[in-house]
Structure 1
Amino acid sequence: MCIVLLSTSHPKYALVVADNRDEYILRPTSRPHWWKAIPEIPATNGSANGSVKAAPPVEVEVLSSRDLQRAEQGTWLGITKGGNFAVLTNYRETDTHDAAHPVHGKRSRGGMVTAWLGADPAESTEQFVHRMLKDGGVKGVGGFSLICGKLRKARDDSNNIEPLAIISNRCDHVGHVPWICGERNSVQGLSNATYLHPEQEDKETKLWPKIREGREALIRVVNEKSDERELQDALFATLDADKFPSNHTMDLEEGIPLLKDSVFIPAFGGKAHQEEMEQARKRGLVKQTEQRDSPAAEALTIVARPDDQPNGFQTGLYGTQRQTIILVDWDGNVTYTERALWDAHGNPIPRGSGDETFRFKIEGWENKQDEQLCN
């Protein structure tokens, strides 16, 4: 089960994000890269009879990995050059007969992330929240929580950033949407359950151990590490905290209840899933023989295997597949590092060998103009 940790406590960085994507290891996923999205715009602009054509859409530059399993090619985490940021965690559904909250929805969860990353840059976070929740806009999607917002310095010139919203299909009214990270010294964590503000939690009974321990580790890291490389290493170490049982051959049904106890999830699964991994590795050896110059870490960029699985992709072992660190400093400079732990054929990648790092400056970071709130 995925986990995302966020902090606004670091003296150098306005926002620190650390994320584990827990997924079936063989789920086809691209490496992180820049790609372009075209926002949806009205067919007409400023004319009641539609005689005035809309301005041509402006492409939005998005940085993310992409899910190659579903046609939408969504993602679980990404950021745009204009500062639109989003990260998604699944909600652990336990009632398979709840039609209102399907385990595997007709619509892609990853499409919720790209809906914000590919939104019109003029759309505010508040407007997006209203749009997504209007008329059941998040129905038909498997359970999820989406943290989203524009990474900007606060408009009131305080030493804060604009807050981030948490949209969920467990929240049907905009008035119930939590807003986080809009103040300094905020440390947040979200996994595969409903978000609760820290002040509302009973840490011993309601808060998952992985969230409690992840937040505590994040607090220590941001207080102790100032150098970028040391901070990144400490954050990856936080994401590597493994308290999962040593038996990695247990069935998925047996292991799922234990996922809430460990920040990092080592690849595990029963006999059938172990055999699927072995078959994938054998296929990979054949492909590497045919393509002798293609290293394992780069094979992730070329795989695309949209299997037709009505209950979602469930092939091979399950565990932490990707890790991502995002650092945003007070000048709006972004350092985005994603670590791949497995290649497309189920072979482990040594720590660091699958890292990709991108650096850029957020356009509009210093923008002081008020965003228009929707009615």
Structure 2
Amino acid sequence: MCIVLLSTAHPRYALIIIDNRDEYVLRPTTQPYWWTHGPSGNRILSSRDLYRRERGTWMGFNQDGRFAVLTNFRESALDDPDKSLGTVMSRGVIVNEWLGAPPSESLDDFVPRVMTSGTFKGVGGFSLICGDLRGMSEAKGMRAASILSNRCDSVDQVPRICGTRGTTVSLSNTIYSSASTWPKVNLGEELMENTINEAVKQDWDEDTLTENLFSVLDHDTMPRDPDRTLAEFRDLLRTSIFIPPFNNQESQKCMEDAKRRGREENLPQFETAPEDDESKDGDDLEPKEAFLQGAYGTQRQTIILVDWDGNVTYKERALWDAHGNALKRGEADVVKKFHIGDTTN
């Protein structure tokens, strides 16, 4: 189960975002790159899911400084058939709804539009953190971000976060109003606040700060029990920030088959990014049905730093390659740096 933490507590940065993506490690996913959102022409920086035709993502930025992060949560069709887990549309496209919105549409316009349009009906449970860093300054601060969910029935139920300095908030695979009942959320906020406080005290440079934020994402409190069942594993996902891979006999065979195929066919270490637009429907993609049978755990980690001059550092760390081979920390890091408003990306 994923976790995202956002903080406005570091005086040098308008916003810091850190994120663990917990997923089946064989789920085919690109590394982060700039691509063009077909309907709007917006340039978006994100990794993209290659399993679903929509090629969605769990987090990203656009060139104008809009950002979005998605977490999902389990729910039953008995709760609400329109919000059930059986999805026609991939939740990954919800991020692109905000990142691909026209520049003239503010967050205050976007929130009621999507809540009343039926865009999210038939999509599994989710929370979408969306914000806009345009026009921020050290004197004015940044505008508050919103947390949309298909468990919100009206605009006045949408929480606003990060609109004041010195705050740290976190969200995992539940709605925001229940986030504090999850041990990993409370622990994550505490560790991130401690890390930022130490960074300010010691005047850490960006590289030192980044590696210490990765240490927060690496914090692992999962008990080691080789006989643990899948149900027991799922119950423990609320407790640990980092999720070590869960493997049973069936999933281990799937992982070994993926590794063998990668070696024998000399396949690339990572999936190739799709063409640079959203017009393709995915028919060119090779079927990837087997990924749901592999190991499950923390697959990707991301650190995003945004300073007061609008400079963004976007660093993603892959922990597994496309064939289920574990990677050493830092072996497959991708770093993208850009300036908000720069149209050359």
**TM-score where L is the length of structure 1:** 0.83
Query: Does the 8 A contact of 2:246 with 2:295 survive in 1?
Result: yes
Q: Deviations over 1:188-228 (max 9, x none)?
A: 0000111039xxx8xxxx52110000000000111111310
Q: Secondary structure in 1 aligned to 2:237?
A: helix
Instruction: Kindly report which structure 2 residues correspond to 1:23-172, keeping only aligned pairs within 5 A, or say none.
Output: 23-39=23-39, 59-93=41-75, 95-98=76-79, 99-154=81-136, 158-172=139-153
User: What's the offset of the Cα at 1:101?
Assistant: 2.7
User: What's the offset of the Cα at 1:106?
Assistant: 1.2
- Tell me what 2:192 maps to: 218
Q: CA RMSD in A?
A: 2.0
How many pairs does the alignment contain? 327
Match for 2:174: what amino acid?
A
Instruction: Kindly report which structure 2 residues correspond to 1:347-358, keeping only aligned pairs within 5 A, or say none.
Output: 347-358=325-336
- Tell me what 2:240 maps to: 262
User: What's the offset of the Cα at 1:301?
Assistant: 2.9
Task: State the percentage of identical aligned residues.
Answer: 50
Residue 209 of structure 2 is aligned to residue 234 of structure 1: no
User: What's the offset of the Cα at 1:96?
Assistant: 5.0
Residue 147 of structure 2 is aligned to residue 173 of structure 1: no
Query: Does the 8 A contact of 2:28 with 2:288 survive in 1?
Result: no
User: What's the offset of the Cα at 1:266?
Assistant: 0.6
1:301 to 259, 272, 279: 272
- Tell me what 1:50 maps to: none
Q: Which has the larger radius of gyration?
A: 1
- Tell me what 1:332 maps to: 310
Question: How far apart are the structure 2 equivalents of 1:129 and 1:355?
Answer: 34
Question: How far apart are the structure 1 equivalents of 2:168 and 2:187?
Answer: 12
Residue 134 of structure 2 is aligned to residue 189 of structure 1: no
Match for 1:212: what amino acid?
N
- Tell me what 1:360 maps to: 338
User: What's the offset of the Cα at 1:105?
Assistant: 1.3
Q: Secondary structure in 2 aligned to 1:14?
A: strand
Q: Deviations over 1:25-62 (max 9, x none)?
A: 0001011000001345xxxxxxxxxxxxxxxxxx2111
Q: Deviations over 1:104-124 (max 9, x none)?
A: 311111010011111112111
User: What's the offset of the Cα at 1:154?
Assistant: 4.4
Q: Aligned in 2, Cα 1:308/1:353: closer, same or farther, shift over 3 Å?
A: closer
Question: How far apart are the structure 2 equivalents of 1:184 and 1:345?
Answer: 42
User: What's the offset of the Cα at 1:248?
Assistant: 5.3
- Tell me what 1:280 maps to: 258
Q: Aligned in 2, Cα 1:278/1:322: closer, same or farther, shift over 3 Å?
A: same
User: What's the offset of the Cα at 1:305?
Assistant: 4.1
Q: Deviations over 1:293-322 (max 9, x none)?
A: x5x3xx23369544458xxx6220100000
Q: Deviations over 1:127-174 (max 9, x none)?
A: 11111101433111111000001113448x744111111000000211
Question: How far apart are the structure 2 equivalents of 1:183 and 1:172?
Answer: 26
User: What's the offset of the Cα at 1:72?
Assistant: 0.4
Question: How far apart are the structure 2 equivalents of 1:249 and 1:81?
Answer: 47
Q: Deviations over 1:66-85 (max 9, x none)?
A: 00010100000000110110
Q: Aligned in 2, Cα 1:302/1:180: closer, same or farther, shift over 3 Å?
A: closer
Match for 2:55: what amino acid?
Q
Match for 1:140: what amino acid?
G
- Tell me what 2:249 maps to: 271
Question: How far apart are the structure 2 equivalents of 1:78 and 1:358?
Answer: 12
- Tell me what 1:372 maps to: none
Q: Secondary structure in 1 aligned to 2:115?
A: helix
Question: How far apart are the structure 2 equivalents of 1:350 and 1:132?
Answer: 41
Question: How far apart are the structure 1 equivalents of 2:86 and 2:336?
Answer: 32
- Tell me what 1:321 maps to: 299
Question: How far apart are the structure 1 equivalents of 2:187 and 2:6?
Answer: 13
